[in-house]
């Protein structure tokens, strides 16, 4: 077929249409896979377990208990709890409370929303 001094020979309009359709579909799948990839990474980060180590506790006064611990490898956090610790304060020396490691981990776990990072 000759149009405007140009010869068009061969080709298949259905093949061209099918090729364009496949390109559109592949771009759609690419966008969906990118979205799913990012969503999956967020879910992994949100649900990954947090490693808590080195708990220690100290009574600053008869009404304030501080629990210090490490999250991950080097991020230091603490929790400050207010309550009536008069009996424990009398029994401790230099503010060092006699809490077991399990008791400190229970306090850390129960007060996760109260964690704040030490600078």
Q: Are residues 36 and 14 in the same domain?
A: yes
List of residues 6+ apart from 1 with CB closer than 8 A = 7, 8, 9
H/E segment holding residue 92: none
Range of the domain at 95: 52-117
Q: How far apart are the C-alpha atoms of 107 and 40, rounded to whole Å?
A: 31
- φ, ψ (nearest 5 deg) of residue 82: -105, 135
Q: What total of structural domains would you count in the chain?
A: 2
Query: Are 34 and 56 contained in the same domain?
Result: no
Supply the pLDDT for residue 80: 92
For residue 61, the model assigns a pLDDT of 87
29 and 22 in contact (C-beta within 8 Å)?
no
| Residue 117 Cα to chain centre, angstroms | 15
pLDDT, tens only, 54-65: 999 999 888 999
Q: What is the pLDDT of residue 11?
A: 79
């Amino acid at each position: 077929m000759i149009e405007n001094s140009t010869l068009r020979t061969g080709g298949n309009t259905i093949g061209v249409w099918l090729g364009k359709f496949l390109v559109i579909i592949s771009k759609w799948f690419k966008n969906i896979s990118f979205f799913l990839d990012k969503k999956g990474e967020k879910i992994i980060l949100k649900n990954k377990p947090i490693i808590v180590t080195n708990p220690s506790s100290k009574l600053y006064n008869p009404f304030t208990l501080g629990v210090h611990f490490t999250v991950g490898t080097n991020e230091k956090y603490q929790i400050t709890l207010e309550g009536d610790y008069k009996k424990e304060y009398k029994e401790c020396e230099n503010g060092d409370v006699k809490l077991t490691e399990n008791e400190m981990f229970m306090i850390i776990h129960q007060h996760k929303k109260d964690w704040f990072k030490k600078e």
